[in-house]
């Protein structure tokens, strides 16, 4: 009954969904392409091979699962790999990471018919859903079609758990139908178990396994050396954060460069109002530029390598923060705000390791960042702590692979080496 009511509600939302896709397509044209896939109508498919399917909703999940995608491809050359996503930026990231070695499609919206058409078209042997992508009709359809579902890199904040509990009649059957849940932490596992998960393995965060692009890192370091100015990076900022952070800065000393990289490409034009130059149009800022806009995709390794200190966006409003692990892996001191519930375990570990500082608000974050910019020894110490933290927590990808093998019914007699993306 719960799922029937849910399906009726999302069916009624079709006109609004189409309008939203068309609206977002003004700035990101790919939203207007292959719209039929959003409702389970596909024109093509990989031929001749059974498929292993992984779903990464957007850019962060696409990067996080890259090593697992390659590992599964190495372990199962007899299979093709299907990758699905929901955002234009995520689709672009998947193509950049994997090229033509995988098949990429939109995941359909969670209509019963769309989920059924998707599964009957691709007929995957295994479904791997990243983090919290638990769609009731999709999971039910997988059960009906005999497709085991593994929830990878699973996290469940206290806030999200309360929402899931409120809709327990809908969410409990979906979570209970998951074959294996791979939780990032004991707290995530406890919340997911309370919501109905039957089998949970606590195996850490695969984002610690992401290997930076060395070419981009080298380019970023060279850019920073040529610039010869201190660089404060505002990374993955969300609506309203740029203004608050910029207003908290002390009077400009005509030396510090603010490098601002918004989380969503659709906001590049909006944020350009604050900037005097932008990477897509000028490789180097002019000497008198105070703010430089990072408006290119797939270059976070460049931006972190170019920075002296990184302030992590999404953390100054109740949005749950953005990924701080990439900054730690690059050896950049991290400052973030009060809201980090989407990365609570990684934030806790970074604070305990001395790789990060948490501030109560935007003004406090800028204050901490300015102090770090004037203290090279502290920056060096925090950067080394971040790298050590990432080194100590690698290995979750290999554990995910072993559980995928179990669900695929494959007896692996030798360990499969996880190759780095590149």
The catalytic residue positions are 61
CA distance 362 to 242: 9
CA distance 327 to 323: 8
> Do the beta carbons of residue 54 and residue 68 sit within 8 Å?
yes
Instruction: Let me know the angle formed at the C-alpha of 361 by 358 and 364, rounded to the nearest 5 degrees.
Output: 70
Quick one: which of 49, 63, 56, 115 has its CA closest to 84? 56
Q: Show the tokens assigned to 334.
A: 């991290």
| Adjacency order of strands within the sheet including 51-55 | 103-106, 80-85, 51-55, 124-130, 149-154, 180-183, 200-202
Other Cβ atoms less than 10 A from the Cβ of 340: the count is 25
CA distance 109 to 234: 33
Q: What is the DSSP letter of 124?
A: E
- The Cα-based distances of 241 to 29, 61, 304, 308, 326 in angstroms read 26, 23, 19, 20, 20
- The Cα-based distances of 208 to 95, 155, 169, 279, 387 in angstroms read 22, 14, 35, 28, 10
> Do the beta carbons of residue 83 and residue 52 sit within 8 Å?
no
Return the bridge partners of 200, or none. 181
**Cα 27 from chain centroid (whole Å):** 21
> Do the beta carbons of residue 71 and residue 398 sit within 8 Å?
yes
Q: Show the tokens assigned to 115.
A: 């989920």
């Amino acid at each position: 009954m719960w799922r029937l009511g849910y399906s009726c509600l999302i069916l009624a939302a079709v006109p609004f969904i189409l309008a939203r896709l068309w609206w977002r397509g003004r700035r990101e044209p790919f939203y207007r392409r292959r719209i039929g896939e959003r409702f389970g109508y596909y024109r093509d498919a990989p031929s001749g091979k059974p498929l292993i399917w992984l779903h990464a909703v957007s850019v962060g999940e696409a990067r996080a699962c890259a090593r697992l995608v390659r590992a599964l491809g190495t372990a199962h050359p007899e299979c093709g790999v299907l990758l699905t996503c929901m955002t234009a930026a995520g689709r672009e990231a998947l193509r950049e990471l994997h090229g033509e070695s995988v098949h990429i499609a939109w995941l359909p919206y969670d209509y019963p018919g769309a989920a059924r058409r998707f599964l009957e078209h691709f007929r995957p042997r295994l479904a791997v859903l990243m983090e919290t992508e638990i769609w009731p009709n999709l999971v039910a359809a997988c059960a009906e079609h005999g497709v085991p579902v593994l929830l990878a890199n699973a996290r469940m904040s206290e806030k999200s758990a309360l929402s899931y509990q409120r809709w327990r009649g809908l969410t409990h059957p979906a979570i209970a139908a998951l074959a294996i849940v791979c939780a990032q932490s004991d707290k995530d596992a406890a919340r997911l178990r309370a919501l109905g998960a039957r089998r949970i393995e606590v195996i850490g965060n695969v984002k610690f396994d992401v290997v930076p692009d060395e070419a981009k890192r080298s380019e970023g370091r060279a850019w920073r050396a040529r610039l010869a100015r201190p660089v404060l990076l505002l990374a993955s900022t969300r609506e309203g954060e740029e203004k608050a952070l910029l207003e908290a800065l002390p009077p400009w000393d005509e030396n510090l460069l603010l490098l601002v990289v918004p989380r969503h490409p659709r906001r590049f034009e909006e944020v350009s109002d604050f900037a005097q130059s932008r990477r897509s149009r000028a490789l180097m800022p002019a000497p008198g530029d105070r703010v430089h806009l990072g408006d290119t995709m797939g270059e976070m390794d460049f931006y972190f390598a170019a920075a002296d200190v990184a302030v992590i966006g999404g953390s100054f409003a109740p949005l749950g923060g953005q990924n701080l692990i990439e900054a730690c892996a690059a050896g950049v001191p991290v400052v973030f705000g009060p809201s980090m519930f989407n990365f609570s375990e990684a934030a806790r570990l970074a604070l305990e390791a001395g790789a990060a500082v948490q501030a109560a608000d935007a003004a406090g974050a800028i204050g901490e960042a300015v102090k770090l910019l004037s203290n090279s020894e502290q920056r060096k110490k925090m950067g080394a702590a971040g790298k050590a933290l990432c080194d100590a927590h690698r290995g979750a990808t290999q554990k995910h692979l072993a559980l995928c093998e179990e669900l695929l019914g494959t007896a692996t007699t030798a360990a499969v080496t996880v190759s780095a993306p590149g």
